[in-house]
Amino acid sequence: MAATTGETMADWEHVMDALVRERGPALVRYAYLLTGDVAAAEDLVQDAVVATFTRTARIRTPEAVEGYVRRAILTTYVDGYRRRQRWQRVRHLVVRHDVTEGPERATQERTDVVAALATLPPRVRACVVLRFYEDLTAAEIADRLDLSLGAVKRYLHDGTHALEERLGPVHRPTHETHPIDERSTR
* Alpha carbon distances (Å) from 176 to 83, 167, 182: 19, 22, 10
pTM above 0.85, yes or no: no
Let me know whether 72 and 114 are in one domain: no
Give the pLDDT score at 56: 59
Domain termination site, one of 29, 61, 83: 83
In a domain, 141, yes or no: yes
Residues in the chain: 186
End position of a domain, from candidates 57, 83, 109 = 83
Residue 30 is predicted with a pLDDT of 86
Could you tell me if residue 136 is inside a domain? Answer: yes
Which of 29, 49, 83 is the C-terminal boundary of a domain?
A: 83
SS3 state of residue 54: helix
Q: What is the average pLDDT across 28-47? A: 88
What is the C-alpha separation between 111 and 147, in angstroms, rounded? 29
Binning pLDDT at 50, 70 and 90, where does residue 57 land? low
**Is 56 in a helix, a strand, or coil?**
coil
Residue at 178 is within a domain = no
H or E stretch at 185: none
**Residue 42 buriedness (CB in 10 A; 0-12 / 13-18 / 19+):** middle
- Alpha helices in 56-148, H assignment, sequence order: 62-90, 103-118, 122-132, 138-145
Per-residue pLDDT of 65-82, as tens digits, reads 888 888 888 888 888 777
What value does the mean pLDDT take over residues 146-158? 94
Structural domain including 131 reads 94-172
* Residues 6 and 72 both lie in one domain: yes
Structural domain count of the chain: 2
Q: Would you say residue 49 lies in a domain? A: yes
What pLDDT sits at residue 182?
Answer: 37
| Residues 55 and 127 placed together within one structural domain of the fold | no
Q: Is residue 154 over pLDDT 90?
A: yes
Identify the CATH number of the domain in which residue 111 sits.
1.10.10.10
Identify whether 177 is part of a domain. Answer: no
